[in-house]
Amino acid sequence: MSKAEPSPFPYAVSGLSTLVAPPMPIDQWAEQMQIPHRHRSGESLEGTEIERILGIEAKSWAPDLFGDFDTMVALGREALRSAGIEAGQVDAFIALPCNPFEVMLDQDAFKLSRRIGLRDSLVPVQMIAGCAGIARAAALATTTGARHILIVTYSVPSVLSGSTGALNDLYRFNRHHPDRDSLWAAAGTFSDSASAMVLSRSASQDGTTVFYSRDTDAFDENPLVRFPGGGLNHPPGTPHADEMSCFGLDGKALAHFYSAAMLLNHRDLQAAVPGYTDKVERIYTHQAGPALVDDFLRRVGLGPDKAPTNAREFGNLITTATTKLLHDDMADGRVVNGDRVCLSVVGAGPERGALITHVDIADPVPPRTGRAEKGNLL
């Protein structure tokens, strides 16, 4: 397996805004979704069964809140305020939607740029990414030469799979998607979240690093998470295009990749910054699922004092999983300006990467939870 190519990371986290929904107990989510039981005809999966299979106790799930584009705009603006800069000072912008509001022509990035107030001469970059998107964005950031970089990211599975209340019928009774027997698990695993982060060029690069890898030789071409509909392979209006327009996941391959790729990240971090686990205040690992996270932390000897988790409480928050952990730590005083932190992530593609960086936020804002916070964002 090839090694990644780490380089110093010349940026600090200078602004941060995060939003999740109040945790919905898994029993309540199961009752609302009505997922057909594969082995008991006419019955639905109960919350205890979903918790046993996926390991999660609750989910962040609010289609009315996260299905509103204004929410994403507000997070971007708040991140800029927390960094103490104006929109006109942003030199690079990366939109990182896991589920874009519009599929074609990078319209999410264009609309965010306009609504946030970024300069017209600023090139909007959009990457429709999975769980490791933050590593891809960080690696790209080092090539821009920018002083201030704004990243806005969001995952909204509730709108795709359950905005009408119960789980969408395409996820419940689908016979054409390659992952048709486990489509419900994608909805059960992935949760609603959104965040915005400002990276600002830092004079200190001591003990920092960033790297990114697709590990083509090791992990081949299995994307791990699939959404095959809507493009040229299955254009809208053609047979079964609707059935293909669902998120599915290859559970066995994903579990193997998470374990192997997180260990590779650990190896490459150790090579780039020897003894890194003792040199950073906290390590934020991607929260694919409680069992996978716990197994990795056990194998590398990390406890909750060094590597907190949130998968049981919220489900998989995708690109916001690690930044939510960081934001909560800052709110609790566990991490303060000047501390070094590590974000290590793996995800669909497949891809993996990590960064060690400093925190230097001019005007920290609290983590947001639920619609009641939206007025504070705007």
**Is pLDDT of 100 > 80?**
yes
Residue 128 to residue 375: CA distance in whole angstroms: 28
**Is pLDDT of 350 > 70?**
yes
CATH among 3.20.20.70, 3.40.1350.10, 3.40.47.10, 3.40.50.720 for 11-377? 3.40.47.10
Residue 77 to residue 139: CA distance in whole angstroms: 23
Q: Is residue 139 very low, low, confident or very high in pLDDT (cuts 50, 70, 90)?
A: very high
Mind spelling out the 3-state secondary structure of 248-316? Answer: EECHHHHHHHHHHHHHHHHHHHHHHCCCHHHHCCEEEECCCCHHHHHHHHHHHCCCCCCCCCCHHHHCE
Q: Is residue 1 very low, low, confident or very high in pLDDT (cuts 50, 70, 90)?
A: low
What's the whole-number mean pLDDT along residues 101-111? Answer: 95
pLDDT greater at residue 139 or residue 376: 139
215-239 residue pLDDT tens? 866 777 888 888 999 899 999 999 9
User: What is the torsion angle, in degrees rounded to the nearest 10, for the CA atoms of residue 153, residue 159, residue 161 and residue 163?
Assistant: 160
Q: What stretches of the chain adopt beta strand conformation (E)?
A: 11-20, 24-25, 58-59, 92-97, 124-126, 148-155, 193-201, 209-213, 225-226, 248-249, 282-285, 340-347, 351-359, 368-369
What's the whole-number mean pLDDT along residues 234-260? Answer: 91
Question: Would you put residue 209 in left (φ > 0), alpha (ψ -120 to 50) or beta?
Answer: beta
169-209 residue pLDDT tens? 888 889 999 988 888 888 888 999 999 999 999 987 778 89
Q: Worst-scoring range by mean pLDDT, 37-46, 49-58, 105-114, 279-288?
A: 37-46
- Burial 208-225, CB ≥16 within 10 A → b, else e: bbbbbbbbeeebeeebbb
**Is pLDDT of 165 > 80?**
no
**Is pLDDT of 372 > 60?**
no
Q: According to the model, what pLDDT value does residue 316 have?
A: 95
Residue 226 to residue 234: CA distance in whole angstroms: 13
What's the whole-number mean pLDDT along residues 86-113? Answer: 96
Provide CB contacts within 8 A for 114, sequence distance 6+.
none
Residue 365 to residue 377: CA distance in whole angstroms: 10
Q: According to the model, what pLDDT value does residue 221 have?
A: 80
Q: According to the model, what pLDDT value does residue 374 have?
A: 56
pLDDT greater at residue 83 or residue 248: 83
What's the whole-number mean pLDDT along residues 246-261? Answer: 88
